[in-house]
Chain A
Amino acid sequence: MSHTIDVAYVAELARLELSPDEKRTFQQQLETIVRYVEKIGELDLTGIEPTLHGQSLVNVFREDVVVPSLDRERFLANAPERNGSEFKLPKIVEDA
């Protein structure tokens, strides 16, 4: 049985820690779901434009006009730790 999704890999990318049991369960469940979606591949879609968006709207823009920003105290109040008016983080070792 070919794998349509690699749950262990996806979990790693999403920073999810899964137990071996969970990995097996999700592998099975997600494969069923992906297979279901793949049914569309059985249809002859020649000449049919792929749908770009669930809505048929295009060109939803705003004008380039400044509106007041949020008072920083309101969201800095959510910061677990602050360095003055910055969000404080553990020291970051830059990675790619």
Chain B
Amino acid sequence: MSKYLITIGLETHVQLKTNTKMFCGCGIAVLDREPNTNVCPVCLGYPGALPVMNREAVKLTVMSGLMLGCEINHVSTFDRKNYFYPDMSKDYQITQQAKPLCQGGGVTIQTPAGPKRVRINHIHLEEDAAKINHYARFSGVDFNRCGTPLMEIVSEPDLSSPDEAMAYLLALKQILVYAGVSDCNLEEGNLRCDVNISVRPEGQAQLGTRAEIKNMNTFKGIYAALEYEIARQLATVARGGVIVQETRRWEPDLGETQSMRSKENAHDYRYLPEPDLVPVALAPEQVAAWRAALPEMPAARRERMMAEYGIPEYDAGVLADARENADFFEAAARLCGQGKTVSNWFMTEIMRLLSETGKTITECPLTPAALAELVVLVDTRVINGPTAKELLPELFREGGMPDALVRARGLGQVSDTSALEGFVEQALAANAKSVEDFRAGKKAAAGFLVGQVMKLSKGKADPQLVGKLVAEKLAGLA
């Protein structure tokens, strides 16, 4: 069998973080909201009801475009996409076809062969459809979701494997969450994907006939659907069959894509300019102001944090992964001037506490100032590492400042040689066997004795000083 090339393009629908719908003042309904409680004549499509654009939705779409390196169309218009389906009661969806808000741009992904640029064709703004619930003998419509602002990011067919599609989606999600334009919460349906897939023999320039798989909202599902569909198309071609252009549906329970019953001409949407909405004209100064307010891109932040705080690439990558983590890290690192130590605390203890509690760093009372102070207390040898490690979970759960806790509880470390020498004597006397072992050449026994001294000091001894004293004492005995 000759080698085949795989071509994948994604249409990603992202729910924008607005308070209200795209064209009316109804609130955005959360998933468990009672049916048909967030609706009005506009989103129900009553004749005569007029849509009015949500300024914030336009701003968030343009900001996304700027983050993704798109060109912003200075004049942008809306169109009607006509179709008959009960999820859209006015029988058309308001979308942008001729002049979308953003064009061009792209996302860089990492592949085994190196970085790869995935181009974006355009980004447009549209309204979401209603939710149809299917029951055994009838269906029911809930219009709560109808009219929710959706931004559709259409990629060029630049992806060539399910892995690349995942890398693209993850990069996209990270950028959008960074920019604060969407929560990209998949469980809530904030991010949904249509994928286009085709295969063609190597050496053929023209793309093969594509199949489209609609409306998937889990990364796992998208990956599995792509794998299945690629295998299906390759098998079809291998036995001399022909791929038909069609829309398919991913059936997660069956683990396969199925052809959706498609009426002829159903795809002729008869787009026409939306007469109820006037064009959006964006002044260059407005776009410039939004551009100036953009957050740093994750990749740029990773590079800068490595240079600025001297932290390894791995740490910088993990920290930059979520904007709130990077913000917290940088605030603490700037306060105490010890980036690497702050990073160590964040990457181990704080990450563990976050995963145990299922919280994000912004949801817990620990402040960057408290972490910075903790680092300084250890660095200036006011407290030792183990004490700091014990204090952190408390600061994480209850807040407060470590210095105050240390004073209130007398947790300051004991660095007084005379006080510690007593503990050393005591430890050596109580563990004669270990002393013997050490003399017989078992150097590890010294570590055990240091541990015993720490225990006698109730954890408050300066471990370095104890190490030195124990070593001296043992040397004297030898």
CA distance A96 to B215 in the complex (A): 11
Q: Report whether A69 and B40 are in contact in the complex, using a CB–CB cutoff of 8 Å.
A: yes
If A65-B25, A67-B25 touch, whether A75 touches B58 (CB-CB below 8 Å) is: no
CA distance A58 to B278 in the complex (A): 5
How many of chain B's residues touch chain A, expressed as a range?
A: 35 or more
A52 at interface (Cβ–Cβ under 8 A)?
Answer: yes
CA distance A76 to B40 in the complex (A): 12
Q: Report whether B25 and A83 are in contact in the complex, using a CB–CB cutoff of 8 Å.
A: no
If A66-B20, A70-B39, A70-B41 touch, whether A96 touches B261 (CB-CB below 8 Å) is: yes
Q: Report whether A52 and B77 are in contact in the complex, using a CB–CB cutoff of 8 Å.
A: yes
B 27-43 to A, binary, CB cutoff 8 A, 1 in contact else 0: 10000001111111100
B131 → chain A, closest Cβ, in Å?
Answer: 9
Q: Report whether B52 and A96 are in contact in the complex, using a CB–CB cutoff of 8 Å.
A: no
- A28-36, A39-47, A86-94 - interface stretch: A86-94
B290 at interface (Cβ–Cβ under 8 A)?
Answer: no
B407 at interface (Cβ–Cβ under 8 A)?
Answer: no
| Cβ-neighbour of B141 out of A13, A58, A70, A86 (below 8 A) | A86
Q: Report whether A87 and B141 are in contact in the complex, using a CB–CB cutoff of 8 Å.
A: yes
**What residues of B have a CB within 8 angstroms of the CB of A84 in the complex?**
35, 140
If A65-B19, A67-B25 touch, whether A89 touches B86 (CB-CB below 8 Å) is: yes
B321 at interface (Cβ–Cβ under 8 A)?
Answer: no
B87 → chain A, closest Cβ, in Å?
Answer: 9
CA distance A31 to B295 in the complex (A): 55
**What residues of B have a CB within 8 angstroms of the CB of A3 in the complex?**
none
Q: Report whether A91 and B26 are in contact in the complex, using a CB–CB cutoff of 8 Å.
A: no
**What residues of A have a CB within 8 angstroms of the CB of B281 in the complex?**
58-59
Question: Which residues from 322 to 343 on chain B have a C-beta closer than 8 Å to any C-beta of chain A?
Answer: none
**What residues of B have a CB within 8 angstroms of the CB of A93 in the complex?**
261
A17 at interface (Cβ–Cβ under 8 A)?
Answer: no
Q: Report whether A66 and B26 are in contact in the complex, using a CB–CB cutoff of 8 Å.
A: yes
B294 at interface (Cβ–Cβ under 8 A)?
Answer: no
A12 → chain B, closest Cβ, in Å?
Answer: 7
- B4-12, B184-192, B265-273, B428-436 - interface stretch: B265-273
**What residues of B have a CB within 8 angstroms of the CB of A70 in the complex?**
39-41, 44
**What residues of A have a CB within 8 angstroms of the CB of B275 in the complex?**
53-54
CA distance A65 to B20 in the complex (A): 6
Question: Which residues from 69 to 89 on chain B have a C-beta closer than 8 Å to any C-beta of chain A?
Answer: 75, 77, 82, 84, 86
Which of chain B's residues has its CB closest to A76's CB?
B36
Q: Report whether B58 and A61 are in contact in the complex, using a CB–CB cutoff of 8 Å.
A: yes
CA distance A72 to B281 in the complex (A): 36
Q: Report whether B53 and A61 are in contact in the complex, using a CB–CB cutoff of 8 Å.
A: yes
If A53-B279, A66-B19 touch, whether A96 touches B262 (CB-CB below 8 Å) is: yes
A9 → chain B, closest Cβ, in Å?
Answer: 7
If A72-B36, A85-B34 touch, whether A64 touches B55 (CB-CB below 8 Å) is: yes
B324 → chain A, closest Cβ, in Å?
Answer: 23
| Cβ-neighbour of B249 out of A55, A85, A89, A94 (below 8 A) | A94
Q: Report whether A96 and B266 are in contact in the complex, using a CB–CB cutoff of 8 Å.
A: yes
**What residues of B have a CB within 8 angstroms of the CB of A63 in the complex?**
55-56
B409 at interface (Cβ–Cβ under 8 A)?
Answer: no
Q: Report whether A95 and B266 are in contact in the complex, using a CB–CB cutoff of 8 Å.
A: yes
B161 at interface (Cβ–Cβ under 8 A)?
Answer: no
CA distance A52 to B86 in the complex (A): 30
B18 at interface (Cβ–Cβ under 8 A)?
Answer: yes
Q: Report whether B52 and A83 are in contact in the complex, using a CB–CB cutoff of 8 Å.
A: no
B237 → chain A, closest Cβ, in Å?
Answer: 23
| Cβ-neighbour of A59 out of B18, B40, B139, B278 (below 8 A) | B278
Q: Report whether B54 and A62 are in contact in the complex, using a CB–CB cutoff of 8 Å.
A: yes
CA distance A24 to B301 in the complex (A): 67
Q: Report whether B84 and A15 are in contact in the complex, using a CB–CB cutoff of 8 Å.
A: yes
CA distance A85 to B270 in the complex (A): 33
Q: Report whether A91 and B55 are in contact in the complex, using a CB–CB cutoff of 8 Å.
A: no
Q: Report whether A89 and B27 are in contact in the complex, using a CB–CB cutoff of 8 Å.
A: no
Q: Report whether A53 and B132 are in contact in the complex, using a CB–CB cutoff of 8 Å.
A: no
| Cβ-neighbour of A52 out of B39, B267, B273 (below 8 A) | B273
A60 at interface (Cβ–Cβ under 8 A)?
Answer: yes
B214 at interface (Cβ–Cβ under 8 A)?
Answer: yes
Q: Report whether A95 and B260 are in contact in the complex, using a CB–CB cutoff of 8 Å.
A: yes
CA distance A9 to B84 in the complex (A): 15
**What residues of B have a CB within 8 angstroms of the CB of A55 in the complex?**
278
**Residues of A that sit less than 8 Å from B by CB:** 9, 12-13, 15, 52-55, 57-67, 69-70, 72, 75-76, 83-96
**Residues of B that sit less than 8 Å from A by CB:** 18-20, 25-27, 34-41, 44, 52-58, 75, 77, 82, 84, 86, 99, 132-143, 214, 246-247, 249, 260-263, 265-268, 270, 273, 275, 277-281
Closest 3 CB pairs of A and B: A86-B140, A67-B25, A64-B56
A-B contact pairs, 21 of them (CB 8 A): A52-B75, A52-B99, A52-B273, A52-B279, A55-B278, A58-B281, A59-B278, A60-B52, A61-B52, A63-B55, A70-B39, A72-B37, A75-B44, A86-B35, A86-B133, A87-B36, A89-B140, A91-B139, A93-B261, A95-B263, A96-B247
